[in-house]
Amino acid sequence: MTNKRTEIEIAFESSVMQYLSILKYAKHHTPLGEDPYKVADHVFTCLINQSSQDQTKEEENDD
């Protein structure tokens, strides 16, 4: 077994930390009556979707 981490492992860990950061913010700033988990899920999903679209555009431009 090696201690060397792959890029994908680092990316997953970074994504988890990013989600937790969004959730922490949502818990402190979500109005009463709204679910901070739903807000965090929505924001994180939008962020991932936008990142994916940007990556696709970059790859298309490289061709």
The range of the structural domain enclosing residue 37 comes to 7-60
60 membership: H or E segment, kind and range: helix 36-62
3-state secondary structure of 49: helix
Is position 41 within any domain?
Answer: yes
Residue 1 has pLDDT above 70, yes or no: no
- Counted domains in the chain: 1
Q: Which of 16-25, 36-45, 47-56 has the lowest mean pLDDT?
A: 47-56
Angstrom CA distances, 23 to 7, 34, 43, stand at 24, 13, 9
Is position 1 within any domain?
Answer: no
pLDDT value of residue 62: 77
Regarding pTM above 0.85, the answer is no
Is position 44 within any domain?
Answer: yes
Q: Amino acid identity of 22?
A: I
